[in-house]
Homo-oligomer: A and B are copies of this chain.
Amino acid sequence: MSLIKQKVGVLGGGQLGRMMMEAAHRLNVELIVVDPQTDSPAKQLSSNSHIDLPFTEPNAIMELANRVDVITVEIEHVDTKTLIEIVENKFKDKNINKKNSRYGVENVNIYPSPQTVKVIQDKYLQHKILQESSIAVAPFLNCSTLEAAVEAANEFSYPFLLKAKRGAYDGRGNVVVKSKEQLYEAWNNLSSQAIPTENSNSNDSGIYAEKMINFSKELAVMVVQELNGEVSCYPVVETIQKDNICHVVWAPAPIDGLLMKKAQTLACEAIKALNSISLNTSDQSSNQNNSLVQQIPKSAGIFGVELFLLENGDIILNEVAPRPHNSGHYTIEACETSQYENHLRAIMGLPIGSTQLKVNYSAMINLLGKCGTDDSLPPNDENNIMSNIFEQVLGVPGATLHSYGKKYTKNGRKMGHVTVVSDSPVEIRNKVNTILNIIDQNGLGNYKNVVSLQNLIAYKPAPLVGIIMGSDSDLPVMKLAANQLNSFGIPFELTIVSAHRTPERMVQYAQTAKDRGLQVIIAGAGGAAHLPGMVAALTPLPVIGVPVKGRCLDGVDSLYSIVQMPRGVPVATVAINNADNAGLLAARILGARIPTISNGVIEYMAQIKDEVETKIEKLESVGYENY
C-alpha cells in the first residue's frame, strides 16, 4: 500500500517524466508511464507495470484512465480529444452506476485540464486567449492563406516570424522570414507540415505570423496552480538560447528585483487565464446546463512560462508549456521544493511546497548532442564523448549531474544536464565557464559561438551594493569604495542621490533598494550630510555612511551628522573621507551571506600585513636616515 494513496499516470516518458518519477519515489507515489519506448528514460527508474503505447493513442489513455487516480502530462503533444471526452463524460454521466473499483474512467482526474492543454497546443489560440486576458504578447496575425501571410508581412515588415500553430517544439515549426522570396518558401514548407485542427470544416492553414521582437533577455518563470485555483511562482530565471534550444539557465535571472516581480505577476496572470478555460468552450451544446458549469473540471499542476524582457523594461509573454520545463530543472537543487514534486503535489491535491530559492545563485547547463551541425559522429564515439563530459563535470564543486539514460547521443538531443549552486555571483559564473569549457574541449556542440565566451561575458550579476553620494564632487572620495568592491568581485551600482536637491529621488531610491536586490548601501555626504541617515530611515538594509570633508570644520560637521543618529535608525559610520573602509565594511557585511567574500577579506588582511612587513624590512635594512 502506498502511504500517500493516489496513483498517478503520466503521458510521456522522457527526461521530464524521469525527473517526475524521482519526485514520485520520494513521496512513494506509484507513477504509471505511457510511452511507446519500452525503456524510455522515465520507465527505467521504476518496476511499475507501464504502458508501452504512444501517448497520443486513445487506447493507451483509456487503459491508463482505468488504472490511476490522476492523469497528467510531461509533453503537451498528447491526444486532448480523448482526454476531453473522458472529462466530459465524467460530468455528463453523473447518474451512471459507478464501478466497484476505485479506478475507472469515471473516477479519474486529469490535470492540467485537457482544455488548457488543447489551447496551449495551438500557439495561435494560446496567444489569442492571453491577449483577451490582457497579457502582453508579441503582435500576431492569423494567416489562413498565403495572401494573408503577405498582408502580415506588410503589417510587421521583414524580418517577421511565420509559425506553425501546432506541433512545434525546440524551434521546429518556426521560420524567420527575411524577404518576400523567403516568405513563399517558408509558406510552402510550413503548410506541408502543418497539423490541421480537429474541426474539419475549418479553413485553417495551421499557420500564423508574429512580429519579430527585439528583446534584451529571455526570461522564464515556473508557476504552480493548486486545485483551489491559487498560484505560486518560482524565481525568475534567464534562459540562454540558440536556435530555440536552451543551453544555460541562470537562477535567479541577473535582473532588477522589481522587474522580477513584474515577470512573476505576468506569469501568474497568464496561468490563471489559461486555466480558467471552461469545459464548455469545446462543448457548446452543454452550455445551458448550469449544474455542469458548476462542476467545471479544475486545473492544476506546474506550468513553464517563457517571457521576453524588452530594452525598455517591458515584459511580454512568449509561450507557455503545461508541464515541468527545462528552465525549471534548477529547482531540484536550488529551491526548497522542486518543480517536479510541486507538480505531483498540485495534481494530487496535496499542500504545495515552498518555491523559494535555498541558495544564493544557481545555473543549469544542458548537456546536448553536437549542436548546430548536421555532421554526425558514429553513435558510440559520441556516447563516449558524452560519457567523458559527464565524468568531468562531476569534478566541478557544487555540480550535480543528471544523466537521462538515453541510449544514443544525437545532434541536439538532450542527454542530461548539470546544475551548479554557489553563494557568490563570481563563483557561479566561473563554475558555468568551467563546464562550458569541458563541453568545448570534448568537441561537442559548436558551443564556442553559442554560450561560452560571448554570452558569458554578457552575464552581469545584479548589483548587491548601491554607492550613492550627494554630489559629483564627492566622487573622488567615493570611488575608493567602488575600487574596493571591484577588487572583491562584488557587483555594485553607483549614482548621485541628493537628499536636499533630489529628495523624491532619494525616497524612491531608498524605498526600492531592497526589492531591487541590493544588500548594502554606501552613502557619502559632506556638510549637513543628511543622505546616509535619511536613506537608513527609508530602508531595512544596512547603510554605511562616509563623512566627506568639506571646506570648513574638517569634516567633523558631516561626521556628527552621519553618526549621531537617533535610536531606531542606525548608520554604520566610517572615518572622514575613508570610503576605502566603507567598501571594506560592505565586503565584511556581505561575507555573512557569501563565504567566498569573507575569505577575500581574510586574504586582504594578510596582504596589508605583508605590505607593512615589507616596509619594516626596508626600514630595518636601510636605516631610518636613508628610508
Contacts of A589 in B (CB 8 A): 542, 589, 592
Contacts of A407 in B (CB 8 A): 1
Given the contacts A4-B387, A415-B3, A564-B576, A402 and B26 also touching, CB distance less than 8 Å: yes
A 319-347 binary contact with B (CB < 8 Å = 1; else 0): 00000000000000100110001000100
Contacts of A581 in B (CB 8 A): 565, 567-570
| A98 touches B (CB below 8 Å) | no
Contacts of A574 in B (CB 8 A): 563, 565, 570-573
Interface residues of A in 502-542 (CB under 8 A from B): 514, 519-520, 540-542
Partner of A540, one of B341, B387, B399, B602: B602
Interface residues of A in 138-177 (CB under 8 A from B): none
Q: How far is the CA of A350 from the CA of B394 in the complex (A)?
A: 7
Q: How far is the CA of A357 from the CA of B585 in the complex (A)?
A: 25
Q: How far is the CA of A333 from the CA of B359 in the complex (A)?
A: 11
CB distance from A416 to the nearest CB of B (A): 8
Stretch at the interface among A44-52, A80-88, A201-209, A453-461: A44-52
CB distance from A390 to the nearest CB of B (A): 5
| A280 touches B (CB below 8 Å) | no
A 597-627 binary contact with B (CB < 8 Å = 1; else 0): 0100110110010000000000000000000
Given the contacts A4-B387, A401-B27, A570-B584, A351 and B394 also touching, CB distance less than 8 Å: yes
| A230 touches B (CB below 8 Å) | no
Q: How far is the CA of A574 from the CA of B398 in the complex (A)?
A: 39
Q: How far is the CA of A5 from the CA of B403 in the complex (A)?
A: 12
Partner of A608, one of B3, B387, B543, B568: B568
Pair A544/B572 contact, Cβ less than 8 Å: yes
CB distance from A423 to the nearest CB of B (A): 8
Closest to A597 in B: B540
A 399-426 binary contact with B (CB < 8 Å = 1; else 0): 1111111010000000110000100000
A 532-563 binary contact with B (CB < 8 Å = 1; else 0): 00000000111110000000000000010001
Q: How far is the CA of A592 from the CA of B585 in the complex (A)?
A: 14
Q: How far is the CA of A543 from the CA of B573 in the complex (A)?
A: 11
Pair A591/B541 contact, Cβ less than 8 Å: yes
CB distance from A69 to the nearest CB of B (A): 14
User: How big is chain A's contact interface, by range?
Assistant: 35 or more
CB distance from A43 to the nearest CB of B (A): 7
Q: How far is the CA of A577 from the CA of B605 in the complex (A)?
A: 29
CB distance from A598 to the nearest CB of B (A): 6
Partner of A588, one of B47, B350, B397, B570: B570
Q: How far is the CA of A358 from the CA of B341 in the complex (A)?
A: 20
Interface residues of A in 374-406 (CB under 8 A from B): 383, 386-387, 390-391, 394-395, 397-405
Q: How far is the CA of A285 from the CA of B180 in the complex (A)?
A: 88
Given the contacts A46-B47, A354-B398, A570 and B590 also touching, CB distance less than 8 Å: no
Partner of A387, one of B5, B26, B514, B593: B5
Pair A336/B3 contact, Cβ less than 8 Å: no
Q: How far is the CA of A44 from the CA of B25 in the complex (A)?
A: 9
CB distance from A22 to the nearest CB of B (A): 6
Contacts of A22 in B (CB 8 A): 22, 25-26
| A580 touches B (CB below 8 Å) | yes
Partner of A578, one of B391, B398, B567: B567
| A582 touches B (CB below 8 Å) | yes
Contacts of A25 in B (CB 8 A): 18, 22, 45
CB distance from A428 to the nearest CB of B (A): 12
Q: How far is the CA of A345 from the CA of B396 in the complex (A)?
A: 13
Q: How far is the CA of A282 from the CA of B66 in the complex (A)?
A: 59
Contacts of A602 in B (CB 8 A): 540
- 8 CB < 8 A contacts A-B: A1-B383, A27-B403, A44-B47, A45-B46, A337-B400, A540-B601, A568-B608, A569-B584
Q: Given known contacts A25-B45, A542-B588, what 10 new A-B pairs fall within 8 Å (CB)? A: A26-B402, A27-B390, A28-B403, A350-B391, A353-B394, A356-B398, A540-B602, A542-B592, A565-B574, A567-B580
- Tell me the A residues contacting B by CB distance below 8 Å: 1-5, 18, 22, 25-28, 39, 43-47, 333, 336-337, 341, 345, 350-351, 353-354, 356, 358-359, 383, 386-387, 390-391, 394-395, 397-405, 407, 415-416, 421, 514, 519-520, 540-544, 559, 563-576, 578, 580-582, 584-585, 588-593, 598, 601-602, 604-605, 608
